[in-house]
Chains A and B, each alone.
Chain A
Amino acid sequence: MAALETSPGPNLRSRSAALGGVVPPIWLLLVAGAAGLLVGSLRSSVFAQLTVQGLALGAVYGSLALALVLVYRATRVVNFAQGELAMATTYVAWQLIQWGLSYWEAFFATLAIAFVLGTVLEVVLVRPVQHRSVIAAVIVTVGLFILVDGIVNWIWGAEFKFMPSPFGTKIYHVGGVSIARLYPGMLAVVAISVVLVWALFRFTKLGLGMRAAAFRPAESALVGVRVDWMLAIGWGLATVLGAVAGLMAEPSQLLLEPTLMQPILVYAFAAAVLGGLDSPGGAVVGGLVIGVSLNLIVQYVPSITSELQAPFAFAVLVAVLLLKPSGLFGHREVRRV
């Protein structure tokens, strides 16, 4: 046996070599940023409020970004309809509440519906086009965008609908800063969902199978993993995360209408690219960064008004694509000729 125990140093070619010397600077930047936020919050209550709100919104963006990343990792498709699906599932929740369910009953029922919807979509729409060109996959999700948008408008109309917030209107007062219960509530719900999904991937056999199927479908099949089921479940989970994003986005707007998720999709794209399209952790971090940055910048930089949030987020996206396409935490090299 001894002859096969070669290579004395197991970590000579360790993983961080792939990231090069970039890892320390990124973590330093993030820590520095967090410290800055803390200091600012202590000094100004407006700053603190904006930060908390930014984090809560950022959590929503991160949740949708995470959905995008899950889908991309599993099926190498960018789902342009992810936001509209999130919006549609939010309408489903609204309808369930209209039919008499309590908020949280509707919430969980919606998550279940979202899961089924996601798996069905993967089987019906994505499987046929997955291995064809990028353009085909993009157009199918674009068509889905238009279709879902149309269906929602058709069934429920474009007028605003009122949906009760599960967090009530209570406002906490912490050291001179007023924080609506809404924001920690949003953060908590998203955080719990993300952690649960993470735990699923990290600690369960199913999660391992899903990761294996996403990375190496051929080898996974050989060990008995049902790759097609894994991809479908991946889409199901992604749609659930999108539903969480939609359900948590709504209370912050108070009113439900069909364009709810359109700007958020923009921010989610920026967050996903910033974090790295194949990095789930990056998507969440990216979301938080974008959420807080947008909130602070709109307040403190006069020339960037709130209409320019979307273009600003996209400027970030394009900058990342040009400077470091694999994002802050991603691994894959964008093919260059």
Chain B
Amino acid sequence: MTALLELEDVEARYGPVHALHGISLSVEEGSVVAVLGPNGAGKTTTLRSVSGTVRRSGRIAFAGRPIDRLGPDGVARLGVAHVPEGRGTFSELTVWENLRLGAYTRRGSIDPELERVFSYFPWLSERRKQQAGTLSGGEQQTLALARAFVHRPRLLLLDEPSLGLAPVLVAELFRIVRELNEREGLTVLVVEQNAHLALQAADAGYVLEAGQVALSGTSDELRADDSVRRSYLGY
């Protein structure tokens, strides 16, 4: 069975600096996969390679189609939603406009998606005219998720969702991600520093180090692995 997302020997660079030295990974449809590793390991770059926001080479296939030549708008149109580090909120625009932008590539009415999103997050509906930049960190993260969801993507790329959020909020966020995955069948590739939470929410994971895959396996396997436990789980 072909995975929804496949990376084979992907390299990426920022100008002269190489960030990825040949990454291979795959994400099965309907699963949640975590990407772990220390700072600078290339986790964010991996997501950027998929969404086309960094110079990359190698084979990247989405639902069997090669996407390694596409730009970000082309990738988005195929059904990939990327929530970047820092959430990618359009601070100058309203909550409603942010949501509307999430569904930019969709034609026709987006009312059903909006209804779904408002049922998950009622406060979004109440505050739809509020300027997005004035929301708190947690609210912006939720807005980012909602925006991605309105897109009705097949694949959600989530980059460091826990950054800058209080632990309680982060736990809640991962719960929602898990729920979206189970209820709506959303496939998720999440980059996360908080390995513990990530592995709890994920079915499988990859550990990156210095631009290469150091370890991979199901989340149970990773949690049982000694090096992972020592380096990332703290026990």
Contact = CB atoms under 8 A, between A and B. Distances in A.
Interface of A: 1, 3-7, 10-15, 205, 208-209, 211-212, 215-216, 218-227
Contacts of A220: 90, 101
Interface residues of B, number: 42
Contacts of A216: 88, 90-92
Nearest to A211: B93
A224 B152 CA distance: 13
B67 to A, nearest CB: 13
Interface centre among B72, B105, B135, B169 (most CB of A within 10 A): B72
Nearest to B92: A215
6 contacts: A1-B121, A10-B127, A10-B134, A205-B104, A219-B89, A224-B104
B53 A209 contact: no
Contacts of B14: none
Contacts of A3: 168-169, 172
Given A222-B84, A224-B76, 7 more contacts: A1-B172, A7-B136, A7-B139, A12-B134, A14-B131, A223-B101, A224-B73
A163 to B, nearest CB: 41
Interface of B: 51, 53, 71-73, 76-77, 81-82, 84, 88-93, 97, 100-102, 104-105, 120-123, 127, 130-131, 134-136, 138-139, 142, 147, 151, 168-169, 172-173, 176
A224 B172 CA distance: 28
Contacts of B138: 4, 6-7
Contacts of B82: 222
Interface centre among A7, A11, A227 (most CB of B within 10 A): A7
A332 B218 CA distance: 49
Contacts of A209: 101, 104
Contacts of B169: 3-4, 6
Contacts of A215: 90-93
